[in-house]
Amino acid sequence: MTNSAISTLLPTPAPAAGTPVPVPSPVPVPDTDTHLAVADGLLALLRSTTTEPRPDEQLEALTLAVAADLPVLLWGEPGIGKTAALTQLAASLDLPLTTVIASVHEPSDFSGLPIVGEDPAVQGVPMAPPQWAVELVRAGRGLLFLDELSTATPAVQAALLRVVLERRVGALQLPAGVRIVAAANPRASAADGWELSPPLANRFVHLYWVHDQEVVVRGLGGVWPRAELPRLAPDLLAEAVAFSRRVVCGFLTARPTLVHRLPSTETRRGGAWPSPRSWDAALTLLAFGTAASVSREVLALLVRGAVGDGPGLELLAYLDRMDLPDPETLLADPAAAELPERGDLRQATLEAVVAAVGARPERERWEAGWAVLVRALETGTADLLVAPATALAALRRDGWEVPASMDRLAGVVGLARQADRSVERVAAAAAAAERAAAGTRR
């Protein structure tokens, strides 16, 4: 060991009296506050975004359901933007947002904790609500966001039934100004996920949240779409209520088996399905959508989210048929007939005209029916006329002369039939070739 190494192991001798003690140089300490302030400034710039009015069917449907005071459940994969949409919605509507993660709470957090008083035999045992419910009542309004609903245990889901439907948390009644929105991941992508119980699922309007590439890109650039409350026309309120009642009641009269239909599988029971409760929600949404003059796409999202895809699509088809022109009006003045632009509605209108002629077959009405078909040929495609023209031709009675208008349609019908037969021949030839190839392989 060298002398210098040995000297480092020996104690340093005390300085002689009167000798100044050397002061070590201070170790430089970084100014943490300054660095964090700069970082906070950068974060503030990143979080500084603006909003713009932009058509967004998902956001419009969500806002309309919130305005209708119906509980909404947003379904979507993790990271799709459900929580961000709710945060932005609350800010746009100027509602304080209260987020409750359902999966980390106990049933008593929603049903209330029993508090024993001085004389429980006389006063009973009240169920004390949690702090978040008390704060909502104190505020008088707000947006209650129940997140991660599909990871809540069945016991917690049962405790949420009164919260969602009756707006009661323990012994506390939430004020009318509180709206409820929940979010959930599909069971396959949820952490320890559960299927929703049918009673809880049937209390929600189910909206399936998907990302829009343009919205995401523009939002990351600093501009997100802005949620706005629907503009309800005051002069349309009474008419909207009467119309929605007429539509739903007329549909359920024609389709009584859809009044209540519990799905057979557990997964479908955890979504939207028809019941008197969900039909009441669909009626409310139809009235709000009519009063706000929303698009058919938004209305479809809401109706299907209330009663399910199948019943919802049937209701929308029934709604379309209600808007069809009266066949008797078309027969009375075929030259001025205004037919729907959409192919399916035009087809249904022409079939209704033929059915009206068949219900009261008279020569003048039969000829007027051909005039309506000619009008359809002049204003649209010819492929929709084959079935109505064939059915109308079958209604001819002996002694009725063929009208000149029928000659204009004969070629169209003939060509269409030839095309159909050509397609059938090609399909038959392909099937024969496939059978021959299969026989060769054997």
- Residue 432 carries which side chain, given as an amino acid letter? A
Residue ranges in 68-153 assigned as alpha helix (H): 82-92, 108-111, 120-123, 131-139
Using alpha carbons, select from 346, 422, 414 the residue that is nearest to residue 377.
346
- pLDDT tens digits, residue range 212-253? 888 888 888 888 887 777 889 999 999 999 999 999 998 898
Q: What is the DSSP annotation of 16-42?
A: PTTPPPPPPPPPP---HHHHHHHHHHH
For the record, the structure tokens of 271 come out as 């979504």
Residue 38 burial class via C-beta count within 10 angstroms: exposed 0-12, middle 13-18, buried 19 and up: exposed
H or E, element range at 144: strand 141-147
Length of the chain in residues, anyone? Answer: 442
* 389-394 CB contacts, 8 Å cutoff, 24+ apart: 389/413, 391/351, 391/354, 391/358, 392/354, 392/357, 392/366
DSSP type of residue 95: -
Q: Are 385 and 350 contacting, i.e. CB atoms less than 8 angstroms apart?
A: yes
d(CA 125, CA 118) in angstroms, rounded, equals 10
Give me 260's structure tokens: 């209540």
CB 252 within 8 A of CB 318: no
Burial pattern 215-249, b for ≥16 Cβ within 10 A else e, equals beeebeeeebbbbeebebeeeeeeebbebbeebbe
Of residues 113 and 223, more confidently modeled: 223
The residue among 284, 311, 304, 131 whose CA lies nearest residue 208 is: 304
pLDDT at 108: 83
- Render pLDDT for 341-394 as a digit per residue (tens, 0 to 9): 888 788 888 888 998 899 899 999 998 998 998 888 888 877 788 888 888 888
pLDDT digits (tens, 9 = 90+) for 251-301: 898 888 999 999 988 888 999 999 999 999 999 999 999 999 999 999 999
- Whether 410 has a pLDDT exceeding 90, the answer reads no
Contact between 210 and 80 under an 8 Å Cβ cutoff? The reply is yes
- How far apart are the C-alpha atoms of 77 and 186, rounded to whole Å? 7
pLDDT single digits (tens) 89-106 = 888 888 899 999 988 888
What is the three-class DSSP state of 142? Answer: strand
Average confidence score pLDDT of the chain: 82
d(CA 144, CA 165): 13
